[in-house]
Homo-oligomer: A and B are copies of this chain.
Amino acid sequence: MSKKITIYDLAQMLNVSPATVSRSLNNHHSISDATKKRILEKAEEVGYRTNKFAANLSNQKSNTIGVIVPRLNSYFMSTVLAGIEQVANEVGYNLIISQSLESEEKEKINAKTLLDSGVDALLVSLANDSKDYKHFEHFTTRKIPLLFFDRVIDLPHCPTILIDNLSAGYEAGKHLIEQGCTNLMHISGNLKRKLYEDRYKGFKNALLEHQLEINDYTLIETDLDPKNIQSVIETITGSPKKIDGIFVASDNYAANCIKELKKAGIRVPQDIKVVGFNNDPVSEIISPNLTTINYPGHKMGVLAGESIIAHLKGSINLQSTNTILLRHQLITRESSSN
């Protein structure tokens, strides 16, 4: 902002008051069309650009929405962000995006920075690490709307958007059982996060319902980082009772599992059937194609964006809606077929 043409300059050029210029620029109704037109044209002509700093200061709002995600470079998350960005962009909101990199510490700092930056609202998907949520209180006390998606926590007045992980887990388990698996394993993400806990619970429910054994091999908690996959493979191959069905909490990890299992001479789906999660494009690239749960990331982003913007514009009150559940769907492919 250095070629400083202000509303004062415009006012002077046109022999009107700055107030009139300001009103015209904001399309205020109490200005005659004639002067409005005159001012707008002049503004265009001299290349006037509004100074948002000043407008923000005066308005106490920024037309900016803050986003905190664990990391933005996963297929799922970047898809969600793309959805949020799209709707925000359309209605003229800016998006400030920051990553917690799974660290509660960074999440806190990010929240603080975004608060200071004067975001009008905050969208959050939690870090695995986070146990304490005081850093979000500043937002609620200041009545800055706060919405959680995917990795959520139940905070008063904060709506959440997610899928029904419990039933998704159940469906995955049930499907494997129906395909004839009797010795099942779940490879989970960080169980501190409710979505992973729920997926496991649902999965376990399916086992219980079919009177299948639950033992030390039923659940492995991981960070879902393929780097550390080897120990998981060893656990699978080392199980006393041969494992014949695996439900993995992410497609990416599942694809890597399949790859390593194949290397270890274990056939998928003949020896072990696999169900992933997310419906990542990789699920259709891996051979065999991966059975998975479709998780509508883009839609989630769009919905999160739309909800928060509608709330900001006053057209709906988010505080009352507490949870929005998106529809998921089991997609069966080769990795679990008979």
Contact = CB atoms under 8 A, between A and B. Distances in A.
Given A50-B116, A115-B49, A141-B3, A98 B99 contact: no
Contacts of A73: 75, 78-79, 81-82, 298
Given A89-B98, A99-B89, A72 B62 contact: no
B85 A97 contact: yes
A248 B162 CA distance: 37
Q: How large is the interface on A (under 10, 10 to 19, 20 to 34, 35 or more residues)?
A: 35 or more
Nearest to A287: B287
A131 interface: no
A297 to B, nearest CB: 8
A-B pairs with lowest CB-CB distance, top 5: A78-B78, A53-B57, A73-B78, A73-B82, A53-B56
Contact of A99 (B82, B117, B142): B82
Contacts of A235: none
Contacts of A79: 73
Given A73-B298, A86-B99, A95-B98, 15 more contacts: A1-B60, A1-B118, A1-B142, A49-B115, A49-B116, A52-B116, A53-B60, A73-B81, A75-B75, A77-B78, A226-B281, A256-B285, A281-B282, A282-B282, A285-B286
When all copies of this chain in the complex are counted, the total is: 2
28 contacts: A2-B60, A2-B143, A49-B116, A50-B116, A51-B57, A52-B116, A53-B53, A53-B118, A54-B57, A56-B56, A56-B57, A57-B57, A64-B117, A72-B81, A73-B75, A82-B99, A85-B98, A86-B99, A89-B98, A89-B99, A92-B113, A94-B113, A94-B114, A95-B97, A252-B281, A255-B285, A259-B285, A287-B287
A96 interface: yes
